[in-house]
Amino acid sequence: MAGESILIADDHPLFRQALSLAASRVRPHARIIEAGTLDTASRAAEANADIALILLDLNMPGATGYSGVALLHAERPGVPILVVSSAEASSAAAEARRFGAVGFVSKESDLGTIEKAIANALAGEAIEAPASGELDDVAARVAALTPTQLRVLLGVLDGRLNKQIAFDLGITEATVKAHMTVILRKLDVGNRTQAALAARALGIGIKH
For residue 189, pLDDT over 80 is answered with no
Which segment of 56-65, 104-113, 138-147 scores lowest on mean pLDDT? 138-147
Domain boundary among 65, 100, 122: 122
Q: Tell me what pLDDT residue 22 has.
A: 94
Q: Which domain holds residue 168?
A: 134-202
149 and 73 within one domain: no
Residue 130: pLDDT band (50, 70, 90) is: very low
Give the residue-averaged pLDDT of 45-65. Answer: 91
Number of domains in the chain: 2
Distance (Å, whole) CA 197 – CA 206: 9
**Residue 128, in any domain of the structure:** no
User: Are residue 106 and residue 143 in the same domain, yes or no?
Assistant: no
Cα–Cα distance between 121 and 134 in angstroms, integer? 28
Least confident of 54-63, 79-88, 136-145, 186-195: 186-195
SS3 of residue 4 by DSSP:
coil
Identify whether residues 52 and 22 lie together within a single domain. yes
Q: What is the pLDDT of residue 208?
A: 38
pLDDT at 206: 43
Looking at the domain assignment, is residue 170 inside a domain?
Answer: yes
State the average pLDDT for the chain: 84
pLDDT tier at 13, thresholds 50, 70, 90: very high
Cα 3 from Cα 85, distance rounded (Å): 27
For 93-107, the pLDDT digits (tens) are 888 888 889 989 988
- Kindly state whether residues 93 and 180 are assigned to the same domain: no
Residues across the chain: 208
Q: Are residues 190 and 94 in the same domain?
A: no
Tell me: pLDDT of 15 over 80: yes
What pLDDT shows up at residue 115? 94
Final residue in a domain of this structure, among 122, 144, 160 = 122
pLDDT score of 127: 52
Task: Assign 142 a pLDDT band (cuts: 50, 70, 90).
Answer: confident
Amino acid found at 145: L
Angle in degrees, CA 75, 58, 162, rounded to 5 = 55
* 165 and 138 co-located in one domain: yes
Whether residues 103 and 171 fall in one domain: no
* Measured distance CA(55)–CA(177) in Å, rounded: 33
Q: What is the pLDDT of residues 165-187, one digit of tens each?
A: 999 999 999 999 898 888 888 88
Q: Please state, in angstroms and rounded to a whole number, the distance separating the CA atoms of residues 123 and 144.
A: 24
User: Pick from 91, 122, 153: which residue ends a domain?
Assistant: 122
Q: Could you give phi then psi for residue 81, rounded to 5 degrees?
A: -115, 120
